[in-house]
Structures are given as C-alpha cells and as structure tokens.
Amino acid sequence: MTHFEPGDKVKFLNQVGGGIVTKVTDDFIFVQDDTGFDIPMQPDQLIRMADQKGAAKLFNATMEEHLKGKGTPLPSVFDSTSTAAAALKAAVPQTPEEEIKQLKSQIANLKNQVALLKKQLSSVQRQNSRALSDNILLQHETLPGEAEVDLHIDMLSERPADLTPHEAFEIQMHYFRLCMNHAFANNMKKVTFIHGVGKGILKDEISKELKQYETVHFFDAPMSKYGVGATEVYFK
C-alpha cells in the first residue's frame, strides 16, 4: 500500500480531481481540493503524483501564479531587457551610417597592425644588416657559407717587423678566436685557417682550442692546395 504524508500531491483514482494531502489517519487520507475543502479518501482511492523537478516545476509554478493573476509579468519578446529582444535587435540590419562607422573602425585597426608589422620588419632588417656588417668573415668568403682566413702576421698587421714573436702570436690567436665567434654567429659551414708551418706552435694552439668545441670537426686542409700549413674547420 502506498504511504501518504501531508503535503503529497494526489489524484483521485475513480473520479476527476485531486489535491494536497493535509492529514493522515488510520482510516482516511484527507485531501484538500481546489475549493479548499478537505475530502476524506481511502488510501486505495488515491494516486500520489511524482515530484516535479527543475525547470518544469518552476515553469508550472510560474504559470499557476499568472493564471491566478499573481506574480511578476512574463517577459515579452518586445521587452528590451529580454534575451529574445536582444537577439531580434542584433538581427536588424545596420543603417548605412553604422556600417560606415564600423568599417572605419576596422580600417583603423588594420592600419595599426600594418604599422606594427612594418616596425617589426624594420627591426629584423636592422639586425640582419648589423650582423652582416659585423661579420668579418665576409671579406674572407670564398663560397656562400665558406671562408678562407690567412693568419700570417703580415696579413694581420701593417708593421709586422715591429712585433715580437709573442706579440705576433697573440694577434694571430686573437683573430682566430674572433673568426670562430663570427662563424658561429653567422652559421658558417666551413672556414679554412691558413697558419703556415714554422715551428708548429700556431697550428698546435689552434688544434688545442678547436678540441674544446663540441659542434665542430677539423682536419688538415688538402696538401695539394695548402701543403701542411692549413686547417679546415667544419661547423655542424
């Protein structure tokens, strides 16, 4: 047998109507109908209605209020504050003046974007130009990405006779290191250093420093072209 409690919404099984349970006794279930009267009913003559939830419950409650002339007015599609009114307004075509204003705004935004892109392009061009002008290997370039640097002291100093052997060696090593830095900075593929033979001091020092780089390979340059006085450096 169905258990009823005060507050349950019920319908009559064998007749039209229903209401809200107001009282429960051992023999009867008292149901208040729309007229406000409590009607005693047998439990087996009632059907308890399932609770309404969510939007359906809110909608039914709202509609009941409005059918009774109570509650706030329902929103109209012509109400400027309603969502439907906003959607309807958005669908209305713009006037020519509004379209012109919108286009002018878009043009202004595009001009700002173009100006920003030009500024960025100019900055990149200046950086590239500065990198090229600072790349001392350009004067030694033999092929794109390749250079040949002669480290003989008479190629690096205007008055080599005035230098001591140690001073000449320091100038040669300084220029070698400078060329290596520029080779890395400008993504060179190969640089050939002509160091001559002599006592082998310059060649040994260059080899010693090249071994410290993990991203280069170096070999003796072709003997047919340089004898034993040059080293080829390849950059990964």
Residues 93-137: tens digit of each pLDDT = 678 888 888 888 889 888 888 888 877 776 665 565 455 446 788
pLDDT of residue 96: 85
Tell me, what's the pLDDT at 52?
Answer: 44
Asked whether residue 182 is assigned to any structural domain, the reply reads: yes
Its sign, for the CA torsion 115, 117, 121, 123, is positive
> In the chain, which ranges are continuous DSSP H helix?
54-67, 83-91, 96-134, 153-156, 165-185, 201-210, 223-226
Same domain, 126 and 202: no
Residues 126 and 159 in one domain: no
Question: Are 157 and 211 members of one domain?
Answer: yes
Quote the pLDDT of residue 193: 97
Domain residues for 104? 93-134
* Verdict on whether the full-model pTM lies above 0.75: no
110 lies in a domain? yes
Query: Is residue 209 a part of any domain in this protein?
Result: yes
Count of the separate structural domains present in the chain: 2
**CA gap 180, 157 in Å, rounded:** 19
CATH of the domain at 190: 3.30.1370.110
Assess whether 143 and 171 both reside in one domain.
yes
- Are the C-beta atoms of residues 24 and 4 closer than 8 Å to each other? yes
**Buried b / exposed e along 164-199 (16+ C-beta atoms within 10 A):** eeeebeebbeebbeebbebbeebebebbbbbbbeee
| φ/ψ of residue 141, rounded to 5 | -65, 135
In a domain, residue 88? The reply is: no
63 lies in some domain = no
User: Are 221 and 164 in a shared domain?
Assistant: yes
Examine the domain organization and report whether 114 and 140 are in the same domain: no
Tokens linked to 24: 């429960």
The domain boundary, picked from 76, 110, 134, lies at 134
Check residue 76 and give its pLDDT. Answer: 46
185 and 156, same domain (yes or no):
yes
Last residue of a domain, one of 108, 134, 160: 134
Domain check: are 130 and 156 in the same one? no
Same domain, yes or no: 142 and 219? yes
104 shares its domain with 145: no
**24 within some domain:** no
Q: State which amino acid sits at residue 198.
A: G
Q: How far is CA 92 from CA 79, 95, 125, 174, 175, in A?
A: 16, 9, 48, 76, 74
Q: Do 102 and 173 fall into the same domain? A: no
Pick from 78, 103, 134: which residue ends a domain? 134
Residues 192 and 163 in one domain: yes
Is residue 125 assigned to a domain?
yes
Q: How many whole angstroms separate alpha carbon 41 and alpha carbon 33?
A: 12
Query: What does the pLDDT look like over 67-89, one tens digit per residue?
Result: 555 555 544 444 445 555 555 55
CA dist 46 and 39 (Å) reads 12
Q: Is residue 115 part of a domain?
A: yes
CB distance 193 to 149 below 8 Å: yes
pLDDT in tens, the chain (236 residues): 678 889 999 888 777 788 999 998 888 889 898 878 888 888 888 888 864 444 445 545 555 555 555 555 544 444 445 555 555 555 556 788 888 888 888 898 888 888 888 777 766 655 654 554 467 888 999 999 999 999 999 999 989 999 999 999 999 999 999 999 999 988 999 999 999 988 889 999 999 999 999 899 999 999 999 998 999 999 98
* Per-residue pLDDT at 57: 52
